[in-house]
A and B are shown apart, each in its own frame.
Chain A
Amino acid sequence: MVPKVHDEHRVDHGASANPAVTPAYWVSYPRFLLRAARLATDGSFAFYAWMTLLSAVFLVGANAWAHQVAHGMITTHLTDHVSWGLYIANFTFAVGVAAGGVMMVIPAYLYKDHAMHGVVILGELLAVAAIVVCLAFVTVDIGRPDRIWHMLPFIGRFHFPMSMLTWDVLVLNGYLLLNLHICGYLLYTRFLGRTPNPKWYVPFVMISIVWAISIHTVTAFLYCGLGGRPFWNSALLAPRFLASAFVSGPAFLILTLAVLRRFGLSVPDQPVATLVKIVRVTILVNLLMLGSELFTEFYAGGSHTASARYLFVGLDGHTELVPWIWTAIAANVVAAVLFLVPALSSSRFVLVGCVLAFAATWIEKGMGLVVPGFIPSTLHEIVVYAPSVTEWKVTAGIWAFGLMVYTVALKVALPILSGAERVQTDAERSLAAD
Chain B
Amino acid sequence: MILRAVILLGVGVAIAWTTAGLTQSGSEPKPGPAPRAAGQVGAAATGMAGTTTINAPRAMPRVRVSVPRSASGEVEVDASCTTCHATRTPNATTASGAELDEFHGGMMFAHGNNRCLACHDATDYDAFHLADGARVEMADVMTLCAQCHAAKVEEFAHGAHGGMNGFWDLSRGSRTRNHCLDCHDPHAPAFPRMVPTFKPKDRFLTRKGEHAEDSR
A residues at B contact (CB < 8 Å):
77, 79-82, 316, 318, 381-385
Contact = CB atoms under 8 A, between A and B. Distances in A.
A382 B202 contact: no
B204 A384 contact: yes
A81 B202 contact: yes
B209 A316 contact: yes
A80 B200 CA distance: 12
Given A79-B204, A318-B206, A382-B206, 5 more contacts: A77-B204, A81-B204, A382-B208, A383-B205, A383-B206
A384 B206 contact: yes
B204 A385 contact: yes
Interface of B: 202-206, 208-209
Contacts, number: 26
Contacts of A77: 203-204
A216 B206 CA distance: 34
A384 B204 CA distance: 6
Contact of A316 (B202, B203, B208): B208
Nearest to B205: A383
A274 to B, nearest CB: 46
18 contacts: A77-B203, A79-B202, A79-B204, A80-B202, A81-B202, A82-B204, A316-B208, A316-B209, A318-B206, A381-B205, A382-B206, A382-B208, A383-B202, A383-B204, A383-B205, A383-B206, A384-B204, A384-B206
B47 to A, nearest CB: 44
B122 to A, nearest CB: 55
A381 B200 CA distance: 13
Main secondary structure of the interface of B (DSSP, over half): loop
A106 B209 CA distance: 53
A370 to B, nearest CB: 16
B137 to A, nearest CB: 49
Contacts of A383: 202-206
A383 B208 CA distance: 10
A381 B208 CA distance: 8
A401 to B, nearest CB: 29
A113 B204 CA distance: 53
Contacts of A79: 202-204
A316 B202 CA distance: 18
A140 B210 CA distance: 39
A333 to B, nearest CB: 32
Nearest to A382: B206
A375 to B, nearest CB: 10
B205 A81 contact: yes
Nearest to A381: B205
A382 B204 CA distance: 9
Nearest to A385: B204
A385 B206 CA distance: 11
Contacts of A381: 205, 208
A82 B204 CA distance: 10
A360 B203 CA distance: 29
B127 to A, nearest CB: 51
